[in-house]
Amino acid sequence: MSEKIWLSAPTMHGEELKFIKEAFDTNWVAPLGKNVTEFENETAKYVGCKATAAMTAGTHALHMAFKLAGVGPGDIVLCSDLTFAATVNPVSYLGGEQVFIDSERESWNMDPKALKKAFEKYDKRVKAVVVANLYGIPAKLDEIAEICKDRGVTLIEDAAESLSSTYKGRQTGTFGKYNALSFNGNKIITTSGGGMFLSDDEEAVEKVRFYSTQARDPAPWYQHSEIGYNYRMSNIVAGIGRGQLLHLEEHKELKKNIYKRYKEAFKDIEVEMNPYLECSDPNFWLSCITINEASQNKVTPEILRLALDRENIESRPIWKPMHLQPVFAKKDYISAGEDVGEDIFRRGLCLPSDIKMTAKEQDRVIGIIKRCFDV
């Protein structure tokens, strides 16, 4: 059996150990410390926001974003439908109600037209909007931000998959009032696990730090006036992140090259790559395809996935839309009329996008897919 080709696995470089060793040498292995502070500062500088708070997970950063937006029992949050559950689960932690917004075809992200329809339906009940940048491809962020601004509703940007992607020259993770990153093991850079809350509202970031360290009041004894959480990143984990951040642009370029090779290789078969807007510069975290409708009676995403799996190659279906998930079956879903996300899920597959994958290995992937199309 050939060596496993992964969908997207961590890639370590060595600098990570320097920062981890420094934490060990100074005996600063407990939560917080120099690595956490510097990782926050370095990320804020890279992204171009005023402040950040390093967290144990991107999900926790989103939880804090919804909390600061004032989401509570019965409040409506308009959510990207074609995304991972972590984007929307924290709404339930706070007793809010998700309403799922369909995608547009140009980027597979939240459709501004469907978003406007949702506002017309729910009006004053809407407390926040959360938009995800699917697979590292930026959404129509300026349109979505303008819609939220006009209605005085907080925009939260889930940039978990899109660190280093830009939209009209501006880094993702800066378009919302509150924003979130993920450093999970499969992301473009990793801390093994972890995430980050980002905002230009420095007071909000300080509040997140407060909530995330058990909401301990400034007293010499342990005193708590609010419910808190144990969400802050450890100094060891942040050391990994500092080393990874040095290679972010390199990782992005490698991801982009993988996408380009797939696109060129598949130009003569009945598939299309995940699209992006010309005004954006994605990080191409995952390269994906959709099978053209005409070929669906012969080749399906599952046929491709199993063919790759037999050769020890990992691929994955497109995220199943949230409104199709059993746990959210009773939630509302709003489309501009075409059910784009369902169609992408039905016809789509995420291909191996690991930056350690060699050109020869990628050729293996390409060859297997082409053979399924008798090419």
Q: Please report the domains of the chain, with CATH numbers, ordered by start residue.
A: 15-245 (3.40.640.10), 248-372 (3.90.1150.10)
Name the one residue in this structure whose structure tokens are 């060891």: 236
pLDDT value, residue 251: 98
Q: Of 324, 331, 342, which is closest to residue 92 (Cα–Cα)?
A: 331
Length reported for the chain:
375
CB neighbour class for 213 (10 Å; exposed up to 12, middle 13-18, buried from 19): middle
Per-residue pLDDT for 297 more than 80?
Answer: no
Q: Which residue has the tokens 């390199």?
A: 250
Q: Are strands 178-182 and 195-199 parallel, antiparallel or unpaired?
A: antiparallel
Query: Rounded CA gap, 205 and 30, in Å?
Result: 21
pLDDT of residue 375: 65
Give the relative orientation of helices 235-245 and 34-47 as an angle to the nearest 10 degrees.
40
Q: What is the pLDDT of residue 291?
A: 97
Give the mean model confidence (pLDDT) for residues 337-347: 97
- Could you tell me the CA-to-CA distances from 99 to 88, 106, 338, 374 in Å, in that order? 10, 22, 17, 42
The pLDDT tens digits of the residues spanning 308-331 come to 999 999 999 999 999 999 999 999
With 80 as the cut, is the pLDDT of residue 229 above it? yes
| pLDDT at 2 (0 to 100) | 80
Pairing of strands 332-334, 97-101: parallel
pLDDT confidence of residue 15: 96
Q: Could you tell me where the beta strands, DSSP code E, fall in the chain?
A: 51-55, 76-80, 97-101, 126-132, 154-158, 166-167, 170-171, 178-182, 195-199, 271-273, 280-281, 288-291, 316-317, 332-334, 348-350
Cβ–Cβ under 8 Å, residues 8 and 286: yes
Q: What is the mean pLDDT of residues 53-67?
A: 98
Cα–Cα distance for residue pair 364/209, rounded to 1 Å? 47
d(CA 373, CA 157): 38
User: Is a pLDDT exceeding 80 seen at residue 195?
Assistant: yes
DSSP letter for each residue of 253-310: HHHHHHHHHHHHHTTTSSEEEPP--TTEE---SS-EEEE-GGGTTT--HHHHHHHHHT
Edge-to-edge strands, sheet with 195-199: 51-55, 195-199, 178-182, 154-158, 126-132, 76-80, 97-101, 332-334
Structure tokens at 133: 């940048």
pLDDT value for 62: 98
Q: Is 213 helix (H, G, I), strand (E, B) or coil?
A: strand
pLDDT digits (tens, 9 = 90+) for 261-270: 999 999 999 9
What is the overall mean pLDDT for the chain? 97
Q: Exposure string (b/e) for 263-291, b if CB count within 10 Å is 16 or more? A: eebbeebbbbbbebbeebbbbbbbbbbbb
